[in-house]
Amino acid sequence: MNAGGLNLKWPCWIGIVSEDMEAQRRFYRDTLGFHEVDSGADWVHFDFGNGNLFEVIERSKDPEYDSPRCQVGYAVEDIEAARTELISRGVQSISDLKGDRERGGRWCYFRDPEGNVFELKERVQPPASPG
């Protein structure tokens, strides 16, 4: 959706902030059959193809993960420009830019007027391998 220079694309990420990450992980992996592709101490990724991720994240004190909920991440081409545009429109930013280009992308978080959290995600294609 292109709204005055802000080109948000269909969600590329859906996250579930969970009180019991391991129970949620087993549910989505074992009960629903989602394909687990990566994990850390407090998160797990499930692949939905074409770079789309479903993530279970353990609740923490970070403002983007401070209560159990479902949230979406919108793909953008230029995260710095999109973040600046949202802030100029009065949207509440709750994080700085996170991630880096070398690891495949950057992201940041905002709140809507009712306090719902959403993410902007800039995907960066890794360099093609020689050969």
Reply yes or no on whether the pLDDT at 5 is more than 80: no
Condensed to tens digits (0 to 9), the pLDDT of residues 18-31 reads: 999 999 999 999 99
The per-residue pLDDT for 114 is 80
User: For the chain, what is the radius of gyration of the CA atoms?
Assistant: 15
Is residue 122 within 8 Å of residue 76, measured between CB atoms?
Answer: yes
The per-residue pLDDT for 103 is 72
CATH number of 2-123: 3.10.180.10
Reply yes or no on whether the pLDDT at 105 is more than 70: yes
Rounded to an integer, what distance in angstroms lies between the CA atom of residue 124 and that of residue 34? 24
Tokens in use for 8?
């948000």
When the pLDDT of each residue in the chain is averaged and rounded to a whole number, the result is 88
